[in-house]
A = this chain, B = another copy of it.
Amino acid sequence: MNTFGRIFRLTSFGESHGKAIGGIVDGCPAGISIDMAFVQSELDRRRPGQSEITTQRKESDRVEFLSGIFEGKTLGSPIAFVVWNKDQQSRDYDDLKDVFRPSHADYTYQQKYGIRDHRGGGRSSARETVARVVAGAIAKIVLKDVGVDIRAFVSQVADVVIGRDYRELDLSLTESNMIRCPDPESAERMIRKIGEAAALRDTVGGVITCVVKGVPPGWGEPVFNKLHADLGFAMLGINAVKGFDYGSGFGGTLMTGSQHNDIFVTGKGGVHTLTNHSGGIQGGISNGEEIYFRVAFKPIATLLREQETIDRDHNPVKILPGGRHDPCVLPRAVPVVEAMAALVLADHYLLQNLYI
């Protein structure tokens, strides 16, 4: 159950404080040039310690490929990679060995497996997303060749919301600030909001929006594996995610059918729709318009303040976590959202390719 995808598949492994995080990408077409610098740069976007609003843990996080690439090109065989774990301060977690942190996976892992690696959250740590970002970078390279471009950004932090449609934003500005919000004014307010929460030893959540351009009509499967169902599945599998919607989304429930329907027109570029409440997907299949969706993240559960909870014997205890933690997961989650979208789309690209 640690495999994602049907044709383009990632199998991931690794605990936060084990030897390494890594994975195997299977099903990648042969003969594709892998730009190593690009893969590493994607990993750097996820890295902790990259700015003052992310955790100060230093994780150099260099990806090392073990197979599947020969003289810079994919062989068609499985692409294995590892990112060695370093800077583990496992002793910081000794206190947590026998307690269940509130709203973490400690209790449920213990119930499911009867055993757990408590150090740094073990397998439940968001450090596991390292593997997703590496695999997603490879998927992005596959997709780039067919003109697909994926861009995620932070559109909400706590109650600070970008007030504008994504079409009015310059998405090339996303990387220009440390919160990864393409609206400079909102970015500033978001950063301030995070700072306020951090000062109170508290955390905040928010929303990431993702926009995908260049998907041609015909990708997606019409019943269970609707393109948006696979995208939603991918996003809901990211740590701390609580919700997903696409196109008009939850807001669309307030519209009438006559407002919501996207009227087809024929223009110079071929068939288009006048509006895009469908979010680029109709009947589970891409229609050639831009795909966009939102991903809701809860506030991080680890607080640098005392909290009540229970221990393994179910007795009440108080905890005060050590370690270094983000006050807001969103900026570092942006490349993870993009990576998971890329995995889904590379898979559907190949699935559709198969019949043509």
Binding site for B on A (CB under 8 A): 1-4, 7, 9, 11-15, 18-24, 26-27, 29-31, 64-68, 70, 73-80, 82, 100, 102-105, 107-109, 111-117, 122-124, 128, 156, 158-159, 197, 200, 202-207, 217-226, 228-230, 232-234, 236-237, 242-250, 252-266, 270-271, 273, 277-279, 281-288, 296-303, 305, 307-310, 314-316, 350-355
Contact = CB atoms under 8 A, between A and B. Distances in A.
A232 to B, nearest CB: 4
A310 B18 contact: no
B124 A296 contact: no
Contact of A253 (B207, B247, B355): B207
B232 A236 contact: yes
> Number of copies of this chain in the oligomer?
4
B253 A249 contact: no
B229 A260 contact: no
A19 B253 contact: no
Given A105-B283, A107-B264, 8 more contacts: A12-B223, A22-B66, A73-B115, A77-B123, A102-B263, A105-B282, A257-B299, A271-B314
B105 A222 contact: yes
B27 A1 contact: yes
Contact of A236 (B2, B114, B233): B233
Contact of A70 (B115, B259, B308): B115
B1 A75 contact: no
Given A222-B105, A248-B242, A355-B29, A75 B283 contact: no
B237 A316 contact: no
A334 to B, nearest CB: 15
Contacts of A122: 70, 75, 77
21 contacts: A2-B221, A3-B11, A3-B224, A11-B26, A13-B78, A30-B114, A74-B115, A102-B262, A109-B283, A111-B287, A112-B222, A158-B256, A205-B255, A229-B236, A232-B233, A243-B250, A253-B297, A256-B299, A257-B301, A265-B310, A271-B314
B283 A108 contact: yes
A69 to B, nearest CB: 9
A225 B242 contact: no
A197 B310 CA distance: 52
Contacts of A24: 2, 11, 13, 23-24
A297 B237 CA distance: 22
A103 B284 CA distance: 11
B253 A285 contact: no
